[in-house]
Amino acid sequence: MMTFDEYEKHDGLGLADLVATGEVTAAELTETAIARIEEVNPRLNAVVHPMFDYARKAAARDDLRGPFAGVPFLLKDLLSELAGVPHSSGSRFYRDFRPEQNSELTNRYLAAGVVVAGKTNTPEFGLLPTTEPEVWGPTQNPWDPTRTAGGSSGGSAAAVASGMVPLASGGDGGGSIRIPCSCCGLFGLKPTRGRTPTGPKFAEDWHGFSVEHVLTRTVRDSAAMLDAICGHYPGDTHFQPRPDVPFCEEVTRSVGKLRIAWSGRPFVPATVHPEVLRGLEETVSLLADLGHEVTERAPVIDGALFAKSYLVVIGAHTWAAIGDGERAMGRKARRRDFESKTWLAHLMGGAFTAGEYVAAVRALQRIVRPVHELAEEVDVLLQPTVSQPPPRLGFLDKGGFAGLLERFAGHLAPKALLRADATLDQASAESFAFVPWTPIYNVTGQPSMSVPLCTSTDGLPMGMMFTGRLGDEATLLRLAGQVEEARPWWNKRPPL
Supply the residues annotated as catalytic.
76, 152, 176
CA-CA distance, 180 to 46, in Å (whole number)? 12
Q: Shortest CA distance to 38 belongs to which of 50, 53, 29, 27?
A: 50
Number of H helices, E strands in the chain: 19, 13
| Chain centre distance of CA 189 | 8
Torsion sign over Cα 430, 433, 434, 438: positive
**Cα–Cα distance, 460 to 400 (Å, whole number):** 27
What does the alpha-carbon distance between residue 433 and residue 388 come to, in Å, rounded to a whole number?
9
CA distance 251 to 256: 13
Region at 227 (left for phi over 0; alpha for psi -120 to 50; beta for the rest): alpha
Instruction: Name the nearest CA neighbour of 44 among 133, 153, 154.
Output: 154
Q: Cα(429)–Cα(81) distance, rounded to whole angstroms?
A: 33
Helices 421-432 and 400-408: crossing angle in degrees, nearest 10, is 130
| Rounded Cα gap, residues 455 and 365, in angstroms | 35
Whether residue 146 contacts residue 392, with contact meaning beta carbons closer than 8 Å, is answered with yes
Q: Interior CA angle at 254 toward 252 and 259, to 5°?
A: 125
* Radius of gyration, CA atoms only, the chain: 21
Q: What is the DSSP letter of 392?
A: B
Cβ contact 414:432 at 8 Å:
no
Q: Where are the beta strands (DSSP E) in 183-326?
A: 187-190, 211-216, 259-262, 293-296
Sequence-ordered alpha helix ranges (H) in 381-448: 400-408, 415-419, 421-432, 438-444
Residues pairing with 116 in the sheet: 73
Could you give the CA distance from residue 193 to residue 243 in angstroms, rounded to a whole number?
14
What gap in Å lies between CA 318 and CA 230, rounded to an integer?
A: 27
Q: How many CA atoms lie within 13 A of 353 on its CB side?
A: 4
User: Would you say 313 and 206 are in contact if contact means Cβ atoms under 8 Å apart?
Assistant: yes
